Structures are given as structure tokens and as C-alpha cells.
A and B are shown apart, each in its own frame.
Chain A
């Protein structure tokens, strides 16, 4: 069974602060995806990383895939209240079925 652990589970920060969310597994994934989900809505895809060591930037968000393709991180610079939500990492295995992480709930306050 492929498991993805995310840390921290909860994060409450003030606007303008930086933060990093981690996604770790003992399994290798062919690709890893990050989603953000708001209450009552489905997850919305932010990025997909495929190559070990890959770094992708999406405005203030920086995503990194570990060299061994077992872990990933999401770094947010100068967080804004609009970044508030549940951040989910999800790994795609050989069958391309997604396995989701436990989620990180982010609260950004003014």
C-alpha cells in the first residue's frame, strides 16, 4: 500500500509569512500532483511534477519533487489570505491511480 504523509497537518500564519508543506512516502511515484481544496468544493489541480529533482514555480508557489521521486514540497512565499485552504499531494503509481496525502490545512490571517 502506498502511503503519503503530509506535514504539518495544520498551519496558521499571518499574511506575508513564508511556509513549506512536505509530502513524504516510502514509495516511488511516476508523478506527483498538488491540489488545493476549498470547503465544499472538489480539489483543484495546481501542478504536476514528473522528473526527480524537478522544481516548478507558479507565481508565489514553488514545488519540488525529490530526486528519488518519493517526496515533494510546496513552498509559499508571502502568503495571502487567498491561499487559505486544504493542500493535498497525490502520487500516481504504475497503474496511474492517485494516492492522496493526509492533507495540510492552511489558514492565512490578516
Chain B
């Protein structure tokens, strides 16, 4: 297993277009997280899944954002009608379920979105 994989690494899109990002977690990890990070800031939580169930969504996740993890493996994050304020690094992470050292989250390299 090579770790958490995100695709694409970079995306430039015009305002108003839809974009979709993919995340492939570490295979034995039940939990998958999406975070957003703007320049110079720490990552902000967007949503997370336990297997295929989406358990929590942040207030940051407006109606234009939707995330899925249909088979409990890979996940997609879609942003509809992109706005310039959506420009950020979108990070995916995965972890095991139970508390303690097993909740260490491992991150992918991120998808850098630029909305022009």
C-alpha cells in the first residue's frame, strides 16, 4: 500500500464550473476525512466517513459541496458552481476507527484548486 492517493494534484477551473476530486485511502482504514486548507492556515475539517456512512459535515460544507464514499473505499468530493473563494488545497486523510494510536490520520498530497 502506497498511502493515501489524491487525484488530480492540481485543478484550474473557471468560476461556475463543477469539479470533482477523488481520494483513495489506505486500504484497511475505515475512516476517510476531507479537509480544506488555505494558504498559511491549518487544515479545516469538512466531512468524514466511516465506511460508506457520512457521519459528520462541517458548516463549511455548503450546499454546493457533496461528498460520497459509495463502497466504503474511495471517496469523491464534488464542488458545484465553483466560486473564487473555493480556491484552496483539498486534503484527504484516512485512519482506523478506534481511539488511541490507531486514530493516527495519514494524509494524501492534496488537490490544489484554483478558480479563475
List residues of chain A with CB under 8 Å of any chain B CB.
4, 6, 30-31, 33, 35, 40-45, 48, 50, 88, 90, 92, 94-103, 105
Q: Is the CB of B42 within 8 A of A103?
A: yes
Closest to B97 in A: A96
Q: Is the CB of B91 within 8 A of A42?
A: yes
CB distance from B52 to the nearest CB of A (A): 17
* A35 neighbours in B (Cβ, 8 Å): 107
Q: Is the CB of A30 within 8 A of B100?
A: yes
- State how many residues of chain B have any CB contact under 8 Å with chain A: 31
List residues of chain B with CB under 8 Å of any chain A CB.
4, 6, 31, 33, 35, 40-45, 48, 55-56, 91, 93, 95, 97-101, 103-110, 112
Given contacts A41-B109, A88-B42, A101-B42, contact A96 B104 (CB under 8 A): no
Q: Is the CB of A95 within 8 A of B56?
A: yes
Closest to B112 in A: A40
Q: Is the CB of B112 within 8 A of A97?
A: no
Q: Is the CB of A97 within 8 A of B100?
A: no
18 more CB-based (< 8 A) A-B contacts, given A95-B56, A100-B43? A6-B42, A30-B103, A31-B99, A31-B101, A33-B105, A42-B4, A42-B108, A43-B43, A45-B106, A48-B104, A90-B105, A96-B97, A96-B98, A97-B48, A98-B105, A99-B45, A101-B42, A103-B42
